[in-house]
Chain A
């Protein structure tokens, strides 16, 4: 589904990703771990198509198409979802309005019919319920005044409504209390653990991986994948830290 080949990327001419390879097939969940500043969020932004993140070398395909050739909105329409480490506030725009605009923009781009207001309301209610978010919050401006944990939960509600093929979730677990971690973890499994979907789960902690069990774990350090393994690699990292690997 996603094939990253020798990816090099810079921010303001500063090399951050330095030859990253990664292959993700449908039905798989990949965890990406690694020290602060290694380039994990950068990878998410590059895949998401953020302006200012320049790819200097390498290739990325998504479902066989050249991902790097697409705009951020086209990538979303193609089924890519980026869960933000720091979700952004948009004052004056309600969650519901934001998501309905987004969903219908994606549908139009795919040549599908727009979803009616009634259907959308049912869908958003179901997704909000499943993640323990009230409709009151759905009507509030996007992320404005939300607590850190609420913002992360909101990212998952968005994912549930947009129903992507590939989700890149950047530290969705940080800032969540113990119960919320369970709710969010269950949400990821419910929405994304399907044979035709895949997840890149960026995290620092084993706790989330106990709920969302990864098929593969990769260590990203200094802009490259330096080690890959199964779920047991996360346990090893938790015990021994990155010192030995990243050095």
Chain B
């Protein structure tokens, strides 16, 4: 093993020496043949040494997908996607198992730096003593190349693995939960993901365990024309707690790239999952050329009594975002929360929101959505609150605020409320405002540059959501909002 590592380090150093500063790192890829067919599915499954049942599951999904049609894009303009003109599998050629992230390929490290991964995280990456314990499962393209803190997690009984490893090592758990929250045939993109997902993360928190650290994964898209199909599954057993952070950035690219992840969360009795996302994939240039298509299915099943799932997202990237992190509140007294900041600039389009499906008695949900639109972008909040006939005493509070910068952008709020039980209390508030000339001048007259003034005002607008994020993410997210709006006013 250590020989392999030495060789890897040597290779990496050599590569770094000739490395030209750019946004594409030239780590060798091993591609699945271009296009999508049963053979592609078999190739991926084979690459991952998957058991027969997994391949069967994938093939079933693939056949299902062939019969499905892409969704009708309300409010969005999505160019037709040629699914045969993409690669469905890309991974570093040799699987490297690192004892710590210190040994990570310097080229990857530098790419992370270029992408502005926060200092605190970098300290953790560098293994600085006393650095905050954030377990980092770095997903480079499709395969996890580095995993840390595994030992400590193991001690607590927490399972934190790439999903491919989990399929091999914990097949019973995967068979029990995979596709339970987001069924294989749920929607076009979830079905596609089920057929070709290449990697992702599996987390299991045992009964009564409070996960000893925040779990964080950086997703990044690197190879040209490689769709990313992450699959994340988190199961929180009775009385457990976990906070999971997902951060994403992508390098500059001209080709449109498809990203269709599936995230499934399961919370049993009294369990709590806090899932935070900062999404900053390449949004395309100011004319809308390039950029990531982000079609994600995220759903939580609050199955247990008094279980709780909290989604927090800061979405600033991607050319097109289509994403509704949702909660099925099946358990009595279960709680669902959705805190969202979605920022669109230039030609970006975002259609995002949540679904709170109340099935359990006394279940509660809170939705706070802050949409910021600039340039010629379009930003839609779409949210569903549904109360089933047997769900007594449900409460929901929804707050949707939109902030407009300039007069060429759009903000839309589309709430759907379906209540089949008269005891439900549903509150919905919505506001739309423009960033005011008064506020800008006031801040500038105190010494802030126009860009800093915009960033400050926008951060104030989004504060309710940002304060839900874990500390190190909140700082990063604040910066991100400012950066994403550069040049949008004035």
Collect the chain B residues with CB atoms within 8 Å of residue A109's CB.
Answer: 447
Q: Do the beta carbons of A76 and B457 come within 8 Å of each other? A: no
Q: Does A172 contact B (CB under 8 A)?
A: no
Q: Which of A49, A71, A99 contacts B446 (CB 8 A)?
A: A99
Secondary structure dominating the interface of B: helix
Name the contact of B445 in the complex, choosing from A76, A89, A90 (C-beta under 8 A).
Answer: A76
CB of A156, distance to nearest CB on chain B (Å): 13
Across the interface, which residues of A come within 8 angstroms of B444, CB to CB? 49, 71-73, 76
Look across to chain B and name the residue whose beta carbon is closest to the beta carbon of A89. Answer: B439
Residues A90 and B457 in contact, CB atoms below 8 Å apart: yes
Decide: A90 and B443 in contact? CB cutoff 8 A.
yes
- What is the CA–CA distance of A241 and B341 in the complex, to the nearest angstrom? 54
Residues of B within 8 A of A92 (CB): 459-464
A1 to chain B, nearest CB (A): 18
B20 at the interface (CB under 8 A from A): no
Q: Choose among B437, B442, B445 the residue with the greatest number of A CB atoms under 10 Å from its CB.
A: B445
A91 within 8 A of B: yes
B442 contacts which chain A residues (CB < 8 A)? 84, 87-88, 90
Q: Which residues of A contact B488 (CB under 8 A)?
A: none
In-complex Cβ contact of A105 among B436, B440, B448, B462 (8 A): B448
Looking at the complex, which one of B436, B437, B443, B447 makes contact with A162 (CB distance below 8 Å)?
A: B447
| B438 within 8 Å of A (CB atoms) | yes
Partner of B447, one of A51, A87, A102: A102
* Chain A, 70-118, CB within 8 A of any chain B CB: 71-73, 75-77, 81-82, 84, 87-93, 97-99, 101-103, 105-106, 109
Return the contact of A93 from the options B437, B449, B459 (Cβ within 8 A).
B459
A90-B439 contact in complex given A73-B450, A76-B444, A105-B448, C-beta closer than 8 Å: yes
B427 → chain A closest CB, angstroms? 20
State A108–B120 Cα separation when bound (angstroms). Answer: 24
> What size tier do the contact residues of chain B reach?
20 to 34
Q: Which residues of B contact A84 (CB under 8 A)?
A: 442
CB distance from B330 to the nearest CB of A (A): 35
Is A102 in contact with B448, judged by CB distance below 8 angstroms?
yes
A89 to B460: give the CA distance in the assembly, Å.
11
CB-CB < 8 A to A190: which residues of B?
none
List residues of chain B with CB within 8 A of the CB of A214: none
A141 at the binding interface (Cβ < 8 Å): yes
User: Which A residues from 122 to 178 make CB contacts under 8 A with B?
Assistant: 141, 158, 162
Closest to A99 in B: B446
Complexed CA–CA distance, A36 and B138 (Å): 64
A67 CB to closest chain B CB (Å) equals 13
User: With A and B bound together, what is the CA distance between A90 and B438 in angstroms?
Assistant: 10
B443 touches A91 (CB 8 A): no
Q: Known contacts A92-B463, A93-B457: does B438 contact A101 (CB below 8 Å)? A: no
Judge whether B446 and A158 touch: CB under 8 Å: yes
Give the top 3 A-B pairs by smallest Cβ distance, nearest first.
Answer: A92-B460, A92-B463, A93-B460
The contact sample of 26 A-B pairs, CB cut-off 8 A, is: A51-B440, A71-B444, A73-B444, A73-B445, A73-B450, A76-B444, A76-B446, A77-B447, A87-B442, A88-B436, A88-B439, A89-B439, A90-B457, A90-B460, A92-B459, A92-B463, A92-B464, A93-B456, A98-B443, A98-B446, A101-B448, A102-B443, A103-B447, A105-B447, A105-B452, A106-B447
A84-B442, A91-B460, A101-B456 known; 11 new pairs, CB 8 Å cut-off, are: A48-B445, A51-B441, A81-B445, A87-B442, A88-B439, A88-B441, A92-B460, A93-B459, A105-B449, A106-B447, A162-B447
Q: A residues near B, CB below 8 A? A: 45, 48-52, 71-73, 75-77, 81-82, 84, 87-93, 97-99, 101-103, 105-106, 109, 141, 158, 162
